[in-house]
Structure 1
Amino acid sequence: MAKNKTLLKANTAKQDEFYTTYDAIQEELNYYEDQLKGKVILCNCDDPFESNFCKFFMRNFNYLKLKRLICTSYSGSSIVGTQLSLFDEYHELLTNSHGYVLDIHEIPMANGRGISDNDINWILHQKNIVKRLKGNGDFRSKECVNYLKQADIVVTNEPFSLFREYTKQLFNYHKQFLIIGNMNNITYKETFPLLKNNLMWLGINHGDMKFTVPNNYIPRKTRFWIDKNGQKWRSFGNICWFTNLDYEQRHEDLILYKSYSKKEYLKYDNFDAIEVSKVADIPMDYSGIMGVPITFLDKYNPDQFEIIGLDRYTVPKEKLVGGRLSINGKTKYARILIKNKKVQKIEN
C-alpha cells in the first residue's frame, strides 16, 4: 500500500504541471500595477528559466519599480532543462534533480525603458543570478518558507492539487497574493470561509484558460491538443484568479433589472430562501435570502451583497438532499446564499 500511495502521488505530480501563458499573466496583472510597485515579489512555483511569471516580472521590473524578485523551482518539475541548455552557478547543466532560485534586486535597462527576451536570457546566464537550492524547492520546505517570509506579494500558478495547502500557508504568513486556481475550489470547506469573510476574492479574469504542459503529459480526449511545434496544451473552462489585492472593479454594483414574484422565484423545499438559477436574474427588490450559483463570485461586490453561506455548510445536514438544496424534490448544484444589503437598508 505504501508503494502504491507513493506511485499515485508521483503520477499526480506529473499531471499537475500547468504552465501559464505570458498573455494570461499580463492580462490580469495590468489591474494591480499600483499595488505591485516597490514590492518584493515571490513566484515560488516557477522555474526561473521557463516560467512566464518570472519573465513578466523581469521584463517589468523597472517599470513597476520592484524592490526584489524571487523565483523558486521544484526539483521534481518535468520541464526543467528541457527547452534550453542552461547552467547554474557551479557551471553545471541544469537538471530536475535540484531546485533553483532566482533572486535579484535590480535589472539594468540598456535602452532606458525595459528589457527584451534577449536581455532576459543574457541576465539569466550571468554567474550567481540563478543558484541551486540546498533542498528540492518545494514551497513547503524550510528554505522556501524563508523566502516567503521576505516577500510582500506572492504571484504564481501553484499545483492545482495542492490549492488548499498552498493558500493555508499564505494566510499563516499573512501574505498578499495573486494565484490561479479552479473555480471548484470555492466550495472547499477551507476556502469558502475566506471568501465569505472577504479575506480572499476572485480576480478580474475567469473562465476558459489554456496552459502548456510537459511532454510526459498523458493526452486527454477533450481540451487537449498539440501545436505545430509539438508543444502540448491543456485548457480548462473554470479557471479563475484568487487574490486579496483589492481593485476598483470589485466595488462596482451588479446591475439588477428583474423584480421579485412568488411565481417566478420558487422557495427551496428544505430552506427559507428563493432559488435564483442565473446571476443575471437576481431580483432587485428582494430582501430575503437567495441561493445563487457559485459563478456569483465573479460579480460579487461586498458593498452590495452579504454572503450568508454555502448550502452544505449553512443548512442543517439532515435537511439537505444529497448535501444540496432542492425544489420539488429535485436537487440543485452548489448554491451560495446571499442577501442584497441595499434592499435591506431601504426597507429599514
Structure 2
Amino acid sequence: MANENLNSARWSSYDEFYTQWADIEREMNAYLEYDPDVFRDKVILLPCDDPEWSNFTKFFALHFMDFGLKKLISTSFAPDSNPATFSYEPTLFELNDPAFDPTKTHANGRMFVLDSTDVSGDGLVNIDDLQWSYLAGDGDFRSAEVTALRDEADIVITNPPFSLFREFVQWVVDGSKQLSVIGSSNAVTYREVFPLIRENRLWKGATGNNTDMVFAVPKGTEIKDADRQKAERLGYPSNGEYDYTRLGNSCWFTNIEHGRRHEPLQSMSQADNTKFSRHKEVKGIGYRRYDNFDAVDVGFVDAIPSDYAGVMGVPISFLDRYNPDQFDIVGMSAYGQVLPELKVPFKQGHHRPYVGGEAVYQRIFIRRKASA
C-alpha cells in the first residue's frame, strides 16, 4: 500500500485517513464497559492528528469531564512536511488568533492542550477550552519534542500513518505506554508486531474486526470506485470537504483490557467436527498434519477442536477471537516466527505452511491451555 522502508519513510499521500466518530466511540466504550475508570486521571496523547478536524480530539474533548481525564494533548504534522496535504490554507480559527504566524503555520506542527482550566468560564471543561500553540518542530512523532509528550502521557490513541505503523507501535511500546491505534490486520504478521501479540503485550481491539471501516480522505485522493460506493452505502457520501473510502482490513490494536477478549471460544470435539463441521475440508476428513511443522492444520476458527492438546495452526483471523485464558500463542509461520522444535525438514526455501505438498495460508500456531 505505502512504502514501508522505515529508514526513509515519511508520511505517504495514502496515509491520510480520518477516522469516523462512530468507530472511535464503539472502541472506547468497550474499554469503559470493562473498566469505567479506564481514563480517569489519565493524560491522553493524540499524535499524528489534525486537532482542528480530528474526531479523536473532538471525542475526548467532549467527554473530558465524563471520563475524568487529567489532560488531553493533540499534535499535528506540519503541512509543508506532509505530502498528504494536497493544498493548505490556515483556518479562520488560526488566522484570527493573535498567535498566528504565517511562516509557522506551514513549517511547524501544532499542539492543542485541554486540562482542568475553564478558559471559557462556562463552568465546564470541553472543546471550547482547548488551548493551542505551535510546536518547535514539524510534529513528527519520532522527534524529541513529541517523544517528551509521549513520556508525559499515560495512553496514546490515534490512527497513525499506515506506512509507519511498525515504527509507531514500537515508539509507544518503548515508552511503556498504553495504546489504542488503528492499523491493517496484516500487521499481525510483522516481525515488530507479532512478538508483542505472542507475549500478550498487544492484542486486537474490541470492535472493527472483519468489518468495513470507513475513513474520510482529502479531496483529490485516488479512491477505487468500489470502495467509494461501499462507503456511500454505509452512509458516507462525498461532500465539499472530504471523500470517503472503506478499508476492509483495518482494525484496532491495543493493550487496554476489554471484556470481549475474555469471552470463551465455543468449539466442538475432534470427533464432532469431523462428523458435523460445515466445512468440506474437515467434515469426513478430520485434521491433517503439516509437511513442514509439527502441528495439525485447522483452517477455520470455528473448527478448532475442544479436545486437542497439541499445537494447531489456525488462520490469522483467530486473533479476533483470541482468549488468553484459553490458548497460548506459540508462533507464526510468517517470517519463520515459530519455535525451532516445531520445524520439520522440508524443501529448502519454503516457509509457508504445507499440507500434502500444497501451500496453505499463513498460520498462527496455538496450544490450548491445560486448564481450559
- Alpha-carbon shift at residue 83 of structure 1 (Å): 8.9
- Alpha-carbon shift at residue 257 of structure 1 (Å): 2.3
Partner of 1:266: 288
Q: Distance in 2 between matches of 1:31 and 1:243?
A: 12
Q: Which letter maps to 2:31?
A: Y
Q: Distance in 2 between matches of 1:272 and 1:15?
A: 41
Report matched runs for 1:298-317 at 5 Å: 298-311=320-333, 312-314=336-338, 316=343
- Alpha-carbon shift at residue 307 of structure 1 (Å): 0.7
Partner of 2:23: 24
Q: Distance in 2 between matches of 1:79 and 1:257?
A: 54
TM-score normalized by the length of structure 1: 0.86
Q: Which letter maps to 1:210?
A: V
Partner of 1:101: 111
- Alpha-carbon shift at residue 92 of structure 1 (Å): 4.2
Identity %: 39
- Assess, with a 3 A threshold, how the Cα gap between structure 1 residues 296 and 82 changes in structure 2: closer, same or farther: farther
Do 1:200 and 1:242's aligned partners in 2 also have CA atoms closer than 8 Å? Answer: yes
Partner of 1:62: 65
3-state SS of paired residue (2:64): coil
- Alpha-carbon shift at residue 274 of structure 1 (Å): 1.2
Are 1:143 and 2:145 counterparts? yes
Q: Distance in 2 between matches of 1:191 and 1:284?
A: 28
Q: Distance in 1 between matches of 2:153 and 2:362?
A: 36
Q: Which letter maps to 2:286?
A: E
Question: Over residues 150-202 of structure 1, what are the superposed CA-to-partner deviations in whole Å (9 max), with x where a residue is unaligned?
Answer: 00000110001101100111111111111111110000111111000101111
- Assess, with a 3 A threshold, how the Cα gap between structure 1 residues 330 and 96 changes in structure 2: closer, same or farther: farther
Q: Distance in 2 between matches of 1:66 and 1:149?
A: 17
Question: Over residues 42-72 of structure 1, what are the superposed CA-to-partner deviations in whole Å (9 max), with x where a residue is unaligned?
Answer: 0011111011000001000000110000000
- Alpha-carbon shift at residue 228 of structure 1 (Å): 4.5
Partner of 2:280: none
Partner of 1:158: 160
- Alpha-carbon shift at residue 298 of structure 1 (Å): 0.7
Are 1:340 and 2:340 counterparts? no
TM-score normalized by the length of structure 2: 0.81
Q: Distance in 1 between matches of 2:303 and 2:221?
A: 41
Q: Distance in 1 between matches of 2:221 and 2:48?
A: 18
Deviates more, 1:196-205 or 1:312-321: 312-321
Report matched runs for 1:157-236 at 5 Å: 157-205=159-207, 206-207=209-210, 208-224=212-228, 227-230=237-240, 231-236=242-247
Q: Distance in 1 between matches of 2:166 and 2:45?
A: 19
Partner of 1:319: 346
Do 2:292 and 2:343's aligned partners in 1 also have CA atoms closer than 8 Å? Answer: no
Over aligned residues, Cα RMSD in angstroms?
Answer: 2.6
- Assess, with a 3 A threshold, how the Cα gap between structure 1 residues 63 and 16 changes in structure 2: closer, same or farther: same
Partner of 2:277: none
- Alpha-carbon shift at residue 82 of structure 1 (Å): 5.7
Do 1:212 and 1:234's aligned partners in 2 also have CA atoms closer than 8 Å? Answer: yes
Deviates more, 1:192-201 or 1:311-320: 311-320
Do 1:48 and 1:130's aligned partners in 2 also have CA atoms closer than 8 Å? Answer: no
Q: Distance in 1 between matches of 2:249 and 2:344?
A: 27
Q: Distance in 2 between matches of 1:82 and 1:318?
A: 61
- Assess, with a 3 A threshold, how the Cα gap between structure 1 residues 17 and 286 changes in structure 2: closer, same or farther: same
- Assess, with a 3 A threshold, how the Cα gap between structure 1 residues 224 and 138 changes in structure 2: closer, same or farther: same
Partner of 2:308: 286
3-state SS of paired residue (1:45): coil
Partner of 1:244: 255
Question: Over residues 215-262 of structure 1, what are the superposed CA-to-partner deviations in whole Å (9 max), with x where a residue is unaligned?
Answer: 241233442358252421121111111111112221221111242459
Deviates more, 1:183-192 or 1:28-37: 28-37
Question: Over residues 56-95 of structure 1, what are the superposed CA-to-partner deviations in whole Å (9 max), with x where a residue is unaligned?
Answer: 0100000011000000000125289669433155134684
Partner of 1:14: 13
Q: Distance in 1 between matches of 2:317 and 2:89?
A: 38
> How many residues get paired?
328
Are 1:276 and 2:298 counterparts? yes
3-state SS of paired residue (2:352): coil
Do 1:89 and 1:131's aligned partners in 2 also have CA atoms closer than 8 Å? Answer: no
- Alpha-carbon shift at residue 123 of structure 1 (Å): 3.9
